[in-house]
Amino acid sequence: MARRKGLTEEDLRLWAAYSRTLTRLLPGRTRLALPPEAVPPPAPSAAPAVSAKPSLARPPAELGLNTAPAGLDKSAWKKFYAGKTKVEARLDLHGHTAAKAHHEVRHFLDQSYGTGMRCVEIITGKGEILSRELPHWLNAPTLRPLILALAHPHAANTGSVRILLRRRRG
């Protein structure tokens, strides 16, 4: 299939909209005019959605595996890190694709937090992709406010991650 030269109308509109956000132009350049029909309508102001998730004044720091977080006392951390905190639910991701596993993790943690669970475990196996991606998923803005701490249940078991969820308030 041969590619046509030049930009399509949609590409030109997108470029014009983008160029309006720029503040400094090169000498002798002018901004493209955005056609009137391409101006997006103002977004309707809607009431903020009520969420069961905690809202934090500032985003929490990124979670690290096996590192004590701020906001958790030393004895609670030792109990969690030593594996003495009872696991209330487990999610096994063996055989899942990364996309399916990501969806399952989000659903599992939302459901666990919603039911008031405190300690859950996610089993990724020792496969490279899921065990590497899980910390990124857990630090995403949608899940990070739910999580207080992360640890491997045992030093030799890196294919599983225990998650200490925040307590529900109100």
113: exposed, middle or buried (Cβ count in 10 Å: 0-12, 13-18, 19+): buried
Q: What is the CA radius of gyration of the chain?
A: 23
Among 10-14, 17-21, 47-51, 118-122, the range scoring the smallest mean pLDDT is 47-51
Looking at residue 50, its pLDDT comes to 44
Neighbours of 88 (CB within 10 A): 14
Which residues are registered as beta bridge partners of 121? 90, 162
| The CATH number of domain 74-165 is 3.30.1370.110 | yes
Q: Tens digit of pLDDT for each residue in 27-63? A: 666 665 555 555 555 555 555 444 555 555 666 678 8
What are the boundaries of each domain within the chain? 9-38, 74-165
The secondary structure element, H or E, covering residue 119 is: strand 119-123
Query: For the whole model, what pTM was predicted?
Result: 0.64
Looking at residue 119, its pLDDT comes to 96
Cα 122–123–127 angle (5° rounding)? Answer: 130
- Res 111 pLDDT > 50: yes
* DSSP letter, residue 65: B
- Res 25 pLDDT > 90: no
- 164 in Cβ contact with 118 (< 8 Å): yes
